[in-house]
């Protein structure tokens, strides 16, 4: 079946450090891939997405590239800030109108 | 930017009582969803709704749950007889069907506490 696997957290970094959160997926066909962020006490916000192979999604300094050959969609940021502390969820959708399948989430904690 | 609106933000209910969680999806979206997140755990899909009927549901969405779009704007989730394990954050979402730029927009959630 379709599934998403994320690296286990928590990830603890100092401000301005480089961030990578690994995400791999299993799916039939060509899913769309997403990263969502959940700040403490808040709902889910779309961070970035990619809908086909080799697409790069980017937003707020975060990037992720859809790699079909490695079935991956790793999240990266060159220099994290304290305000980036949140839970990050990788997700996939098989096609428009179908359910999003989420990974377990990775907690990021950034200290100054 | 268009938003998905959920009410109430927090609801406390007695075990065995019925609850209705309400959502107003984005007006030009065609697909509607409910997800839940038990505290500290992953976000789980419950049900999707399209063209006034359920299009997909998970094994969590049993006979205790139902969804409805009673008018042109609201989308509701009803839990008939709540159990302690129904305590969770419930998220409503909506999406467009326009590939490749479709995306899912989530509401800020309703925290349901069953006591």
A46 shares contact with chain B (CB less than 8 Å): yes
* Cα–Cα distance measured from residue A23 to residue A4, given in angstroms and rounded to the nearest whole number: 7
Whether A52 and B48 lie within 8 Å, measured CB to CB: no
Q: Give the separation between CA A22 and CA B1, rounded to whole angstroms.
A: 30
Q: How many CB atoms lie within 10 A of CB A67?
A: 16
Residue tagged 């008018």 (tokens)? B71
Confidence of residue B98 (pLDDT cuts 50, 70, 90): low
Mean pLDDT of chain B: 91
Residues of chain A with pLDDT under 70: 96
Is B45 an 8 Å CB contact of chain A?
A: yes
Q: What is the pLDDT of residue A1?
A: 81
More confident call, B39 vs B89: B89
Q: Is B21 on the interface with A (CB under 8 A)?
A: no
As a whole number of Å, the end-to-end CA separation of chain A is: 41
């Amino acid at each position: 079946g379709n599934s998403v696997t994320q690296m286990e957290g928590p990830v603890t970094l100092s401000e301005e450090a480089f961030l990578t959160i690994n995400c791999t997926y299993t799916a039939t066909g060509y899913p769309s891939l997403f990263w969502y962020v959940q700040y403490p006490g808040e709902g889910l916000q779309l961070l970035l997405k990619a809908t086909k192979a080799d697409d790069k999604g980017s937003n707020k300094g975060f990037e992720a590239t859809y790699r079909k050959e490695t079935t991956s969609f790793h999240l990266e940021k060159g220099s994290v800030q304290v305000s980036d502390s949140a839970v990050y969820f990788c997700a996939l959708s098989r096609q428009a109108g179908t359910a999003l399948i989420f990974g377990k989430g990775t907690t990021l904690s950034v200290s100054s | 930017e268009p938003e998905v609106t959920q009410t109430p933000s927090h609801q406390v209910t007695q075990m065995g009582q019925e609850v209705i969680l309400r959502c107003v999806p984005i007006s030009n979206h065609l697909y509607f969803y409910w997800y839940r997140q038990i505290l500290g755990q992953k976000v789980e899909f419950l049900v999707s709704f399209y063209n006034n009927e359920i299009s997909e549901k998970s094994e969590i969405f049993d006979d205790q749950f139902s969804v409805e779009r009673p008018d042109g704007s609201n989308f509701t989730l009803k839990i008939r007889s709540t159990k302690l394990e129904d305590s969770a954050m419930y998220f409503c979402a909506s999406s467009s069907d326009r590939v490749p730029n479709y995306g899912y927009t989530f509401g800020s959630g309703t925290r349901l506490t069953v006591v």
